[in-house]
Structure 1
Amino acid sequence: MSVVTRLSIRARAMVVGGVASLALLAVGAFVPIPYVALGPGVTYNTLSAVGGTEVITFSGSGVPASVSEDKGPGHLNMTTISVYDHQTLFQAIGLWADGDYSLVPREEIFPPDKTVEQVNRENAQQFSDSQSNAEIAALRYLKYPNVVYVGTIPESSPSAGVLQPQDQITAVDGTAVTDYASLRAVLARTRPGQVATVTVDRGGKRVDARVTLADAAKTGAPAGSTQGFLGIGAVERPKAPFTIKISLANIGGPSAGLMFTLGVIDKLTPGDLTGGRFIAGTGTMEIDDDKGTVGAIGGILMKEIAARDAGATVFLVPADNCAEALTRVPDGLQLVKVATLSDAMAALKTLAGGGTPPGC
């Protein structure tokens, strides 16, 4: 007869219950659950340095003198959220009980059809794109002259293997191309089958590429067009004589676009956009239109907390995030609604003048 069978029914129940409790405790303490915890992340001042390296720097000729100005103590901070993966049940409960964290199904952050490495690469690419968008939006707002770049090149295009994405088109058959309108004008005088010499700036070097122009049917252009086509997605965007570099690593996602844009504008213009205030914010920067639309982002509540914890008193909120942002506003943090880059610039001007810009 075993020890257990000699015990009373009550004692046996206690033993079984104890073993079950220990098993549950072990599961809660050591077995990851299919959820991740999201919480406030770090913030970085786009006007300052991180790890001894300036976040936004300029090089080359024609850099405005304002870049070297002492802008004072003001902040234009980008914000992030932190992601805690492989949480055990007890760890997750602890973070949730803290009040500053939320739990979401892991598949929302790491889709089952992608590896963690793939997700991280996509996030890193989005972050890189946000830096490029910020540069374009800032230069466009400051009315730097436009140039035309080669965008997409379909495999069936007559330009495939001849032109490259990011080539800056400077001339066609010797006629200068300074913007999209001038490119259209010179191509309007061509015919399908004609060999055109397309002069491009490729990484600082002049390249004369010969392209056999296609007809409308082969490029997806409107039927009835009789001119020749390069078969590219041409992109018009501003260009400065100097180079802008944004240096931040190990961060993902597109949501820093607005704050990078404001940081670039602040450095390229005299004076201080912040008026000495600690301003933080978030939002993507769209460049598909001239408005400079500020796009909505995820994790707005956690970014508000991160901003306030860092010392911010003003937080720029994408207009489409305002309803959620108002559900929990940290004490001492003023929410400012921005739908476009112009809204953000107007709000900063109002704040610097002692006024109150539109809030959420």
Structure 2
Amino acid sequence: MPNLSRRSVVLSVCAAVVAALLAVAAFAPLPVSIVEPGLTANVLGSDNGTPIITVKGVPVRTTSGQLRLVTVQATAPNASVHFSDVWSAWFKNSQAVMPRDAVYPSGGTVEEINKANLKDFAQSEAAATSAALKQMGLSPSQVHVTLRLEDVGGPSAGLLFTLGIIDKVDGDGHGGDLTGGQNIAGTGTIDAAGKVGAVGGVPLKEQAARRDGATVFLVPRDECADAKADLPKGLKLVPVTTLDGALSALSALRAHSATPSC
């Protein structure tokens, strides 16, 4: 009996320790962020009354379609995310759990992260402008482009900004809308040579696009697998690798012809 009693005590102590560790784990902050669909914005339109794209030095045209950039939103870098938050997000297709370092690769304080995002946005703006003007055969010394959009940072809107600049100035090359009047969304970085790069968070961005009325989604081809995994109903997926490819795809959409697929 004494041995059984001692064993019971040991088991009780072990159980209490395990319970305490689980309780600590449940309430301890985790190095992750909860990410979900964010805002979208038609780059051919305005933000708080100010045109998102302003072009000076050449005539601009009135557009009727939409080129909608998409974003994700994440818990703040200084916010505490616990096991219960992760558990809840696990069962929602509108949320994803990602390592905090992947969401905020620049690290540091909120101020430092915002500064890094604005720097990335400025570089994206310059690349988008260069790619668009090169595509249209215009000189940067004659044309001045300004991009204004609050609460958006990073480089992932590069492709949509480039297409927006082209649509504002040249349209489809014949005076018509580049979009054919459709609501087209997309994501992807771009460099001055017109190469489209991957971004991340595509499934959540697709949800944001469809929520706000888009029927076509331009996606970097390298992200086709993620893009197909949970594609919202009513959203057509069009993969691209270059600006030329994106323009060709839009031309095919206007002509109701076959477009590239994943």
TM-score range, shorter chain: 0.7 to 0.9
How far off its partner does 1:318 sit? 0.8
The residue aligned with 2:108 is 114
Unaligned runs of 5+ in 1: 1-8, 145-237
Distance 1:119 1:331, change over 3 A: same
Kindly provide the CA deviation profile for residues 202-225 of structure 1, in whole angstroms up to 9, marking residues without a partner as x: xxxxxxxxxxxxxxxxxxxxxxxx
TM-score computed with the length of structure 1 as normaliser: 0.62
Match of 2:137 among 135, 140, 143: 143
Match of 2:248 among 329, 333, 346: 346
Kindly provide the CA deviation profile for residues 310-329 of structure 1, in whole angstroms up to 9, marking residues without a partner as x: 11110001111112212221
How far off its partner does 1:112 sit? 9.0
The residue aligned with 2:5 is none
How far off its partner does 1:138 sit? 0.5
How far off its partner does 1:21 sit? 7.2
Contact 1:315–1:336 at 8 Å: present in 2 too?
Answer: yes
Kindly provide the CA deviation profile for residues 236-293 of structure 1, in whole angstroms up to 9, marking residues without a partner as x: xx41524211101222211100000000000001321111111000111111x4xx11
The residue aligned with 1:258 is 159
State the identity %. Answer: 40
Distance 1:243 1:107, change over 3 A: closer
The residue aligned with 1:46 is 43
Largest Rg, 1 or 2: 1
How far off its partner does 1:113 sit? 6.4
AA aligned to 2:259 is P
Alignment partner of 2:144: what SS? strand
Write out aligned runs for 1:127-276 (5 A): 127-144=121-138, 238-269=139-170, 270-276=175-181
The residue aligned with 1:64 is 59
Alignment partner of 1:38: what SS? strand
Distance 1:323 1:117 in 2: 34
Match of 1:356 among 254, 258, 262: 258
The residue aligned with 1:308 is 210
Q: What's the C-alpha RMSD, in Å, of the aligned pairs?
A: 2.6
Distance 1:116 1:352, change over 3 A: same
Contact 1:313–1:333 at 8 Å: present in 2 too?
Answer: yes
Distance 1:348 1:111, change over 3 A: closer
Kindly provide the CA deviation profile for residues 45-102 of structure 1, in whole angstroms up to 9, marking residues without a partner as x: 001112221111123xx43142xx2x22x11011111111422222232222222222
AA aligned to 1:310 is D
Distance 1:113 1:350 in 2: 42
Distance 2:129 2:191 in 1: 11
Higher strand fraction (1 or 2): 1
AA aligned to 2:161 is F
Kindly provide the CA deviation profile for residues 141-184 of structure 1, in whole angstroms up to 9, marking residues without a partner as x: 0011xxxxxxxxxxxxxxxxxxxxxxxxxxxxxxxxxxxxxxxx
Contact 1:139–1:240 at 8 Å: present in 2 too?
Answer: no
Alignment partner of 2:261: what SS? coil
Distance 1:302 1:341 in 2: 23
Kindly provide the CA deviation profile for residues 108-162 of structure 1, in whole angstroms up to 9, marking residues without a partner as x: 3345963343233212211111111111111000011xxxxxxxxxxxxxxxxxx
Distance 1:121 1:25, change over 3 A: same
Distance 2:132 2:23 in 1: 55
Distance 1:112 1:329 in 2: 30
Distance 1:81 1:245 in 2: 23
Is 1:286–2:191 an aligned residue pair?
Answer: yes
* Residues paired across the two proteins, number: 244
The residue aligned with 1:88 is 82
Alignment partner of 1:326: what SS? helix
Contact 1:110–1:116 at 8 Å: present in 2 too?
Answer: no
Distance 1:111 1:313, change over 3 A: closer
Contact 2:30–2:82 at 8 Å: present in 1 too?
Answer: yes
Contact 2:188–2:199 at 8 Å: present in 1 too?
Answer: yes
Distance 1:286 1:132, change over 3 A: same
TM-score computed with the length of structure 2 as normaliser: 0.83
Distance 1:113 1:297, change over 3 A: closer
How far off its partner does 1:22 sit? 9.8
The residue aligned with 1:78 is 69
Higher helix fraction (1 or 2): 2
Distance 1:34 1:277, change over 3 A: same
How far off its partner does 1:25 sit? 6.5
AA aligned to 1:259 is L
